[in-house]
Amino acid sequence: MQSMSQSPLFSKHLPSAARMRFLVVSVLILAVLVAGCGRVQTADDEYEQTLEQIDSIQEYLGEREIYELNPEDMAWLEREFATLAQRVERMEDASSLPLGLDRVAEFGSARYRSMMEMLEVAALLAESGQIIANIANESMTALDEQGFRFDPQDDGETWLEVIHRRDSEIDEALLIMDEALTRRDKIDESELPGRVQGNLYRIDQMIEDFGSQIELAQQREMAYEALGIDEQRRYLVLFQNPTELRPTGGFVGTITVLELHRGQISSYEFQDVYDISRAYSRVTSHEIEPPWAISEYVRPDKLQFQDANWWPNFPDSASMLIEMADASGWPELHGVAAVQPETFQDLIDVAGEIEVEVDGETRTITSDNLLEESERQRRVQRETGEGETGHKEVIELIGEVLIDQLSLGDRDDLIPAVLMMFDRLDQRDMQAYHEDENVQQFLEERNWAGLLEPQPDTPTLSTIFANVTGLKTSLAMQPTMDLYFEPDDEDDSVNVTATISLEHTGAAGGDPFYEGFQRYWIDVNLPENATLLDSSVDAVEDPDASSGGAYVVNLHVETTEEITIEFSMPITERLLLRRQPGLVTMYGGIEQSGCDEVVEYWGDRDIVLLLDGSCPEIEWIEE
């Protein structure tokens, strides 16, 4: 066997000096490879420990939200993120190539680049997580200590003030997270080792968890304004009664003026709506002509405060209420919120049963009996003439106890209650308006503002119902709406037939106040650029009627009335059916010419019809 020095490869093609340099380089490469084996083992150990730590964090958190963690939990989480950052740094050190070979690998190995990029993403996430955990810890500690009720004798820093003070650090964490997201998108997963690919979901899950928080964190300027970080903010809260349906959700019988300062409730006061209505009625210098249906069937003189939620586009009603309150001499209002009973029911689910004293009797209020108990006092007084406490006073008692239980309780109840209100805003069982244009823009973008056209880029069909009898009969009316689409390819339009049916489900011989005669004003708002072709019932001469016309339907007990409306609209791939808050859930069927299927819908929230196929489909808007 020939020695290497006698091999033609070396002896023939390399001079002596070159052979020596080659041997030296070979020894150095061998040394690097030997060292690399140790580095690989170190990186591998750190990799396994990192996976175990991530699993440990996820197992510890489980399904808990960040607000459910106590200060000890937060401190532990902060330490874990710090340890995670150190481990990733050691993996980076162990994975980097010495002697400048990292640059060679960077340009020559896609796998090496992808691995190092993944480690950098993990390091960035660990760093931002450490910052956020620290801020959350301090903020939640302040919430536990200071609570959600403002105490003028306590000048301790509130949870909102902690966040405001550390605002620049939040920006720093958001920038780090943004860089992590950018780097993650650039990773070529196919170049990663199989084992690493299989565990990449852990990083993606962490990014997803962070992502849901980033959106809210980016809107904190709106929170500072809305929650009164510098100055007190005052809001009018409307409690809408769907038993007497109105365009925004129901007749307003009870209101609350809620004041917030430094992220806490500084005061609240429940009032009968007629208290402010009487104050406004005495103002002769500010008179507003009532809408046609109010003037025709309710009161003809001037618009009263309790009727000012007439405009289904909630910002219009809210701004009108603020204008009237200002004319009545009220302190400045910064916004308006409208609340449906469903929101109250959710809050009671969180707070637990409520006990109130009514005429010497203790009544237990639950989410299941809220509506019944809200009307019980009125029923008792109608049937017996007894009872000193008024119907609206009972609602005020329930509201006061509920606010006290939630705002004076711990965050385990308070924060879930806030999150439930977010859900109700999504469904339009709460609607909000703010005088600050930036806050209002945020509300509209989140579809929390009660807009008549919730999605500007999607044509909308809405039917608005209002009970104009003054009776509490609306829950005994079941509406349906069937739609039939007939595309006309010649002029790129589609003819639509909407059949609206109203069934009186009350019983003959029942209490007429709750089950008697109903009269509905119905306003039909057609999609943009649609043209009304015909209707089976003549539209009323309402000067403010929408594009599909306004109609009046008289509905007697155990009868059904129907309106058919035909209109033409430009061909569209999507059509939104807007849900009216307070309306008994509308349902119906959707048909299209050339399609044998009938698509049924249940309108407990906005739905979008997909009209780009041979048959219509439903795309439910995500919760």
CB 576 within 8 A of CB 455: yes
Tokens of residue 477, six digits:
């009316």
DSSP state of 149: B
d(CA 183, CA 200): 13
- pLDDT (0 to 100) of residue 218: 76
CATH architecture for residues 233-445: 3-Layer(aba) Sandwich (3.40)
Contacts 24+ apart (CB under 8 A), 52-61: 53/80, 53/83, 53/84, 53/87, 54/84, 54/202, 54/206, 55/202, 56/80, 57/84, 58/202, 58/205
Distance between CA atoms of 450 and 444, rounded to whole angstroms? 8
Residues in a beta bridge with 339: 239, 430
Structure token digits, residue 206: 């962490």
Q: What secondary structure, in 3-state letters, does 327-393 show?
A: HCCCCCCCEEEEECHHHHHHHHHHHCCEEEEECCEEEEECCCCHHHHHHHHHHHHHHHCCCCCCHHH
pTM, two decimal places: 0.83
Where are the chain's structural domains? 12-218, 233-445, 460-620
418, exposed or middle or buried, with CB in 10 Å at 0-12, 13-18, 19+? middle
C-alpha span between 258 and 237 (Å, rounded): 7
3-state secondary structure (DSSP) of residue 593:
coil
Decide: helix, strand or coil at residue 153.
coil
| The pLDDT value given to residue 284 | 81
Within 10 Å of residue 286's Cβ, how many Cβ atoms? 12
Q: What is the pLDDT of residues 564-599, one digit of tens each?
A: 999 999 999 999 999 999 999 999 999 999 999 999
Q: What is the pLDDT of residue 308?
A: 96
Q: Residues in the chain with pLDDT < 50?
A: 1-40, 97-108, 623
Residue 43: its pLDDT value, please? 55
